[in-house]
Chains A and B, each alone.
Chain A
Amino acid sequence: MAIIERPSSDVATTATTPATVTPTSSQGALKRPVSAKGWREWLFTVDHKKIGIMYGVVAMFFFIVGGVEALLIRLQLAAPEGRILSADQYNQMFTMHATTMVFLFAMPMAAAFANYFLPLQIGARDVAFPRLNALSLWLLVSGGIVLNLAWFLGGAADGGWFMYAPNSGPVFSPSNGVDFWTLGLQIAGIASLIGSINLIVTVLNMRAPGMTLMKMPVFTWMILVVQFLLVFSLPVITVALVLLMFQREYGATFFDVSAGADPLLWQHLFWIFGHPEVYVLILPAFGIISEVLPTFARKPLFGYPFVVFSGAAIGFVGFGVWAHHMFAAGLGPVSVAVFSIATMAIAIPTGVKIFNWLLTMWGGKIWYSTAMKFAIGLVVLFTIGGLSGVTHSVAPSTTQQTDTYYIVAHFHYVLFGGMVFGLFSGFYYWWPKVFGRMLDERLGSWNFWLMVIGMNMTFGPMHILGLQGQPRRMYQWTEARAGEGFFNLGFWNVVSSIGSFILAVGVLFFLINVWKTWRTGKQAPLDPWDARTLEWLTTSPPKAHNFDRIPVVHHLDEFFHRKYEEDTATHTMRPVTDGASLVEEEVRNADEHIHLPSPSYWPLMLAVGISTLGLGVLYGVPVMVIGAAMVLLSSFGWVLEPSVAPETDFEDPSHGDGHTKEIAPLG
């Protein structure tokens, strides 16, 4: 324990004053429910923890769907002249694989972690707008359903996940797949936008007393940066999607080159969103392992401010590099040079983070738990993907590599090796917090090693395939043109396909682990990892109101500093108490009058209304009118309902467990 953070004495002691507004009666068409039981407890909940779990379940479902799509792709390519899928089905498969993984797995899974842990990490009782939080979830679910409906209604989207013109037009995509795609992504986009505004307000306004921005956990910081990226990039893709929708549904020609349109318009709009999006995907994982590495190396995070600021720098620069996706489009030497240099520059803050993580582990007493293994896996695999990423910033090189498997190898190393490993690290680290049970470490080890081997076997050979010129998105390869010796495309395609199934078995081990833990998992101690941040300063799983009393924060890594004290003679940290006793102390000193918002029907109703309104674009004006009516009705219901159910609706004013209801921030 060489690196010690000295306690600071300036702690704001802002006392929370009692609530001032007490609505006297239920208003709107439906009364606000007092509480909900059974399935209603989940459908109408506004609790950020339940919403977080539901985000996780939905994301996991789509992870499996997207994974099956990936396996079909690899089966098709396992042998020459693959016959598993037709060319058309193959197009749908890779388009929906990417769309599903990016929009329906990665973003929602990050949202699951953010929703669950962000309020806990900043010592808040919920997010700023609990009902909007529920609305985000239900809109995401609607978006996912709309996107995948197309499978059953004539074929899914088939233009590639970035849907360039003319592939997005009626000539090359005659089915309704792209129509559902534009709609589904717009609905999911609204969900993300609402969610991001909600989380920014939560972080900026609702931190526990004493928690300054620079005392926030890195995970919270990274989530904050991500939400800013989303707020400013989502509207740009919304414009692109709206224009595409108007082209396909109402006969405009925004991307129709034969009508004089500029094909680069879509590319610019898409990538102005699309590049910040890749940081939206990776930064939450960076945040997770910035929590995991210090905990299991038993050292503070090395260079906390550098990790925070390089995260923010990645966010800023991330808005200025989108055209490196378009080097082959003929932008002209000046644009290419500028975007090349900006892209190289972004490697600097990323490198800073990697060195900080390495130095966090350096000299630490490392505990190789599954969470830690996944975190180290991220550092290694992301670095490989990051290095091939730097090769893309060199424009002459990129013109050779563009649209080959080399690109596919790169982004799977950063997204699977980076993001997915980060998320799995988070599963193992936080599972005891969320469910009160420990995931099995032995199964976890199988899970990790199979995923490492599978992932490197799947995506490693793709570097070779790509440099040999195998184009991405080709649905068959032929023996005659596969080449010979070490560079034989056939051999490496087989290796890659075998790898993908090993990877799938690895994921299966995780699911088995979850099932086993659910059935027979052992009770988790209150502080199983000797953790550092505030989410552990409460019971596992946390109570509905999160904290029995709102913590007052004095330190970065507050929970750690409550357990350990600095020995001034030796400058080492020695334990003064343990996590479990700290939690028990909180329980003994619980606040009275803890205020929580009541469940609400309107988020679900509004989400259904918005989706119906959207589907009206495809199914005609009557559907649109019904949707609009539902939106209007739900909005009024939403605005008019009080933030808690009226006094008279509560049976027992003491609420049974000593906590009386109170007004929460309006959701």
Chain B
Amino acid sequence: MADTLHAAGPASDHGHHSATGLSNNKLAMWLFLGSECLLFGGLISTYMLYRGRVSDGPHPSQVYDIPFTSVSSFVLLMSSLTMVLAVTAAQRNDDSKTNLWLTVTALLGATFIGGQVYEFTTFYREGMGFTTSLFTSSFYTLTGFHGVHVSVGVILLLATVGIIKRNKVTGNKAESVELVGLYWHFVDIVWIVIFTLVYLIPA
């Protein structure tokens, strides 16, 4: 895997020499993701501070449906697998497989978002509005931010499929797919942290 990645390197920065051996695009993506860690760090800290402050509203343990969220978490984690398949297909220059796996990844991501929409609606019906308590505000803000990240990821995946299909990639195709993949895996990893801290550890 490492060799394949390396092999994709030289062409991806248009032959301009790069002192780190990483292409500009990839280095920038890593820096962006590093920054995102702090963004989610701040949101998670806020949630951890406020998860017990429920006022008159429901307590976390009364609303969370762990089996349901476990299934949607599983779906999201599987999308990382299909993303990897898409990246390897792109590195083999196999457009149809790349598009197939990107589409599957997008569908799995969309399924996760569907699950989140369902979950939010259910919570709302159970009396858990955005402003009900500090717990609900921080819960919706944290998971909502993650949901927006997944949605942006789905758009990126589908846009990549469209651009590859029309053969209009302006840079290195394999690397473009890989960059979307980096973002996608990051969003998945953040979800593992959120799922553990928010749902599994009792408040």
Contacts and interface: CB of A to CB of B under 8 A. Distances in A.
Interface stretch (A247-255, A477-485, A574-582, A651-659): A247-255
Nearest to B173: A21
Contacts of A664: 14
Contacts of A259: 55, 134
B31 interface: yes
Interface string A576-596: 000000000000000000000
A18 B134 contact: no
Contacts of B55: 259-260
A198 B35 CA distance: 13
B137 A252 contact: yes
A248 to B, nearest CB: 12
Interface string B130-153: 110110011001000000000000
Contacts of A252: 130-131, 137, 141
B42 interface: yes
B171 A128 contact: no
Contacts of A234: 35
A339 interface: no
A254 B53 CA distance: 11
B16 A235 contact: no
Nearest to A256: B134
A419 to B, nearest CB: 24
Contact of A17 (B15, B130, B170): B15
Interface stretch (B19-27, B78-86, B100-108, B112-120): B19-27
Contacts of A16: 15-17
A201 B49 contact: no
A243 B34 contact: no
Contacts of B39: 235-236, 238-239
A239 B15 contact: no
Given A23-B170, A205-B20, A254 B25 contact: no
B170 A639 contact: yes
B46 A205 contact: no
A242 interface: yes
Most chain B Cβ neighbours within 10 Å, of A20, A21, A239, A261: A239
A209 B31 CA distance: 24
Interface in A1-60: 14, 16-21, 23, 27
A629 to B, nearest CB: 13
A19 B168 contact: no
Contact of B171 (A201, A250, A260, A666): A666
A375 B23 CA distance: 38
Contacts of B24: 128-129, 201, 205-206, 665-666
A198 B31 CA distance: 9
B79 to A, nearest CB: 22
A236 B28 contact: no
A206 B134 contact: no
A193 B35 contact: yes
A239 B42 contact: yes
Contact of A205 (B11, B27, B130, B133): B27
A37 to B, nearest CB: 25
B100 to A, nearest CB: 21
Interface residues of A, number: 55
Interface in B24-63: 24-25, 27-28, 31-32, 34-39, 41-43, 46, 49-50, 53, 55
A645 to B, nearest CB: 13
B18 interface: yes
A201 B24 CA distance: 6
Interface in A114-128: 128
B189 interface: no
A29 to B, nearest CB: 13
A640 interface: yes
Nearest to B18: A205
B52 to A, nearest CB: 10
Question: What does DSSP make chain B's interface, helix, strand, loop or mixed?
Answer: helix
B171 A235 contact: no
A52 B23 CA distance: 24
Contact of A254 (B19, B46, B159): B46
B172 interface: yes
A204 B27 contact: yes
B197 interface: no
B13 interface: yes
B200 interface: no
A666 B25 contact: yes
A259 B38 CA distance: 27
Contacts of A663: 14
B163 interface: yes
A640 B163 contact: yes
A495 interface: no
B170 A640 contact: yes
Contacts of B35: 193, 197, 231-232, 234-235
Nearest to A124: B16
Contact of A265 (B15, B17, B49, B141): B49
Contacts of A232: 34-35, 38
B27 to A, nearest CB: 5
A665 B19 contact: no
B14 A261 contact: no
A93 interface: no
A642 interface: yes
Contacts of B20: 204-205
Interface string B146-177: 00000000000001000100001011100000
Interface string A630-647: 000000100111110000
Contacts of B36: 235
A207 interface: yes
A21 to B, nearest CB: 6
A217 to B, nearest CB: 16
Question: Which among B10, B20, B131, B133 has the greatest number of chain A C-beta atoms within 10 A?
Answer: B131
Contacts of B134: 253-254, 259-261
A178 interface: no
Contacts of A27: 168, 170
B46 A250 contact: no
Interface of B: 10-11, 13-20, 22-25, 27-28, 31-32, 34-39, 41-43, 46, 49-50, 53, 55, 130-131, 133-134, 137-138, 141, 159, 163, 168, 170-172
Given A239-B42, A243-B46, 18 more contacts: A19-B15, A23-B170, A27-B168, A200-B31, A201-B24, A201-B31, A204-B19, A204-B20, A232-B35, A260-B55, A262-B50, A639-B159, A640-B163, A641-B170, A664-B14, A666-B24, A666-B170, A666-B171
6 contacts: A201-B27, A238-B42, A243-B141, A252-B131, A253-B134, A262-B49
Return the 3 tightest CB-CB contacts between A and B, nearest first: A239-B42, A235-B39, A252-B137
